[in-house]
Structure 1
């Protein structure tokens, strides 16, 4: 199974690495880290990722994973990136996104009239681009799967593994990765965090 993990400048590494780590537990997966050119891609944290192939070389992956990140707004104007997503989607068994990556799916015309989720700070953008907003952590609508902000990509990876293979397989992956979240704080959603913290994070995400 060929899975394309899409790379672009300013993406968030965990958006991609989370689902990659989960899905690549299966021996049938052949992971491809695909970008517009073979040049290294710098993420929003400064981590540099080396593409293994390009958009032109991998046109029909079976699974497409599109991350979000600090560069999400600039990425919406990246014609080559958006065109690749739009072109790869029809042949894909599953098209997925993490965080603000769903805005790229929407820009590519994939989410029109579909339920989708995204990072809470850009929910309005997703609606403006034609999606039907859901605030769930992981959303399936046909063969399109979207995950909420950053860490939700890990949850999406397990949910997608269950859909591709079966629940016992996904559960085995979860155990092997010891995914048993016990966060030290309870500020992981805008409904739980202080208002001033929510405002600060929203401003930072929207200014990216």
Structure 2
């Protein structure tokens, strides 16, 4: 699917340019019928030539912005949230001409918060510059890395080279601890977001994602995909971003109302806050004592 994304874009824009007033259902039906037609063998070369010319013409008509992004790194560690890391990875892998790598703290496999075990592409000691850095969240692993000065210093150094430094969910706790968000507007996972960001000199926006200069932060888990799509749009333009969204069929429609503090019932919110506090407080206390 990924290898054919440019061809998909070309097909979309060929249909739009030739049949601007045609409904989507009619386009699909017409395409289905055309694929069912039988052509004589002698027509094959003619059809291939026509298809190639149509493809070239449409590709020239589609505006895909040029960018200078080459190296994208996604920090991973034991206990990282799966979708925090792999949601942005899926989207950024669509940026042509880029190298997207998962970057671990040390050699060996990483196990996510949902028990996915995988081999990262490289380690932090092998990376000294990036164009985009993504810092995902998690739970215990995230809190542990809030106190990991080696990692915090690596992020500070990498930030000197980035065009975008980003965080997803509680990954903002790690990014905030570096001091890079001081005086910035930022967002993060709803749990103690305002408190955690304020402790690091940032102002909580309570938005799905927030940009302040080159710093992009997002709320919990799935919001990292929205943030990544926003960055993709800025880099490549709306047309290409929309093509990627269609490739993903990214058009969320949850079955019930929920998913944010504002849309969650008070009793469920109290339950979740109490559960998170019960889990997080002992971990924070553990690492505070080690300081």
**Would the TM-score normalized by the shorter structure come out above 0.5?**
yes
Partner of 2:24: none
Distance 1:81 1:181, change over 3 A: same
CA distance in 1, matches of 2:122, 2:232: 23
- Aligned pair partner of 1:108 in 170, 175, 178: 178
Where do residues 136-175 of structure 1 align in structure 2 (5 Å cutoff)? Answer: 136-175=207-246
From the two aligned structures, give the one with the greater strand fraction: 1
Indicate if the aligned counterparts of 1:86 and 1:110 stay in contact, CA closer than 8 A.
Answer: yes
Q: CA deviation at 1:160?
A: 0.6
Q: TM-score w.r.t. structure 1 length?
A: 0.96
Is 1:25 the counterpart of 2:94 in the alignment? yes
- Aligned pair partner of 1:53 in 122, 144, 156: 122
The structure 1 segments of at least 4 consecutive aligned residues displaced by more than 6 Å after TM superposition are none
- Aligned pair partner of 1:66 in 129, 135, 140: 135
Query: Unaligned stretches of 5+ in structure 2?
Result: 1-69, 281-291
Larger RCO (CA within 8 A; separation ≥ 6):
1
- Aligned pair partner of 1:41 in 97, 103, 110: 110
Q: CA deviation at 1:204?
A: 3.1
Q: TM-score w.r.t. structure 2 length?
A: 0.69
The alignment partner of 2:191 has SS state of helix
The alignment partner of 2:166 has SS state of strand
Q: CA deviation at 1:103?
A: 1.2
Q: Deviations over 1:186-207 (max 9, x none)?
A: 1111111111211222233342
Indicate if the aligned counterparts of 1:38 and 1:52 stay in contact, CA closer than 8 A.
Answer: no
CA distance in 2, matches of 1:155, 1:44: 21
CA distance in 1, matches of 2:118, 2:183: 34
CA-based RMSD? 1.2
Partner of 2:205: 134
Q: Return the index of the structure with the highest Cα Rg.
A: 2
Is 1:6 the counterpart of 2:80 in the alignment? no
Indicate if the aligned counterparts of 1:70 and 1:205 stay in contact, CA closer than 8 A.
Answer: no
Partner of 1:98: 168
Query: Unaligned stretches of 5+ in structure 1?
Result: none
The alignment partner of 1:121 has SS state of coil
Partner of 2:256: 185
Q: CA deviation at 1:113?
A: 0.5
